[in-house]
C-alpha cells in the first residue's frame, strides 16, 4: 500500500447515493452498493492526492431527486457546515439532484464551504 507524502493534505471525501424506490434493494449488489463502489474506486485512485473515503454513508432510499427534503442529503450538508467533509462524490449528477435550480443551490453551498464536487459520469 502506498502512502501519501506528508506534505499532501488529506481530502475527506463523502459519497452520496440515492435510489428513488426501495424496489430491488434486497438484491446484492443493489443500486446503492454499485454507486458506492464506483465512488470508492475513484477515491482510491486519487489517494496520491490525499483523498480518503470517510466512513459515513449518505444514502437516501425512496426519495425523488426533485426534492431537497432527503434525510441523508440534509445530514451531508450539516457535516459540510461542520467542516467534516472536503469533497462530495456521486456516481451520477442526477443522484444529487434532478432539479437544475437545486443543483445550482447545492453547488453554491459547496463553493461557499470550499467543497470539491465530483460526478463520475461527468469526468
9-44, pLDDT tens digit by residue?
A: 999 999 999 998 777 666 776 788 899 999 999 999
Domain boundaries, position 60: 11-122
Domains: count for the chain = 1
Sequence-distant (6+) residues with CB within 8 A of 116 are: 11, 86, 87, 88, 110
Domain-located, residue 2: no
* pTM score of the predicted model: 0.88
Q: What is the pLDDT of residue 35?
A: 94
Q: Report the pLDDT value the prediction gives residue 108, as an integer from 0 to 100.
A: 96
CATH number for the domain spanning 39: value is 3.40.50.1390
Task: Supply the pLDDT for residue 3.
Answer: 55
pLDDT digits (tens, 9 = 90+) for 71-117: 999 999 999 999 999 999 999 999 999 999 999 999 999 999 999 99
Amino acid at each position: 500500500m502506498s502512502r501519501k507524502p506528508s506534505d499532501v493534505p488529506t481530502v475527506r471525501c463523502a459519497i452520496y447515493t440515492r435510489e428513488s424506490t426501495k424496489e430491488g434493494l434486497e438484491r446484492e449488489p443493489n443500486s446503492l452498493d454499485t454507486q458506492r463502489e464506483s465512488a470508492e474506486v475513484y477515491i482510491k485512485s486519487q489517494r496520491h492526492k490525499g483523498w480518503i473515503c470517510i466512513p459515513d454513508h449518505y444514502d437516501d432510499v425512496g426519495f425523488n431527486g426533485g426534492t431537497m427534503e432527503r434525510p441523508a442529503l440534509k445530514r451531508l450538508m450539516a457535516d459540510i457546515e461542520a467542516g467534516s467533509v472536503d469533497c462530495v462524490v456521486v456516481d451520477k449528477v442526477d443522484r444529487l439532484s434532478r432539479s437544475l435550480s437545486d443543483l445550482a443551490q447545492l453547488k453554491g453551498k459547496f463553493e461557499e464551504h470550499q467543497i470539491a464536487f465530483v460526478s463520475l459520469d461527468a469526468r
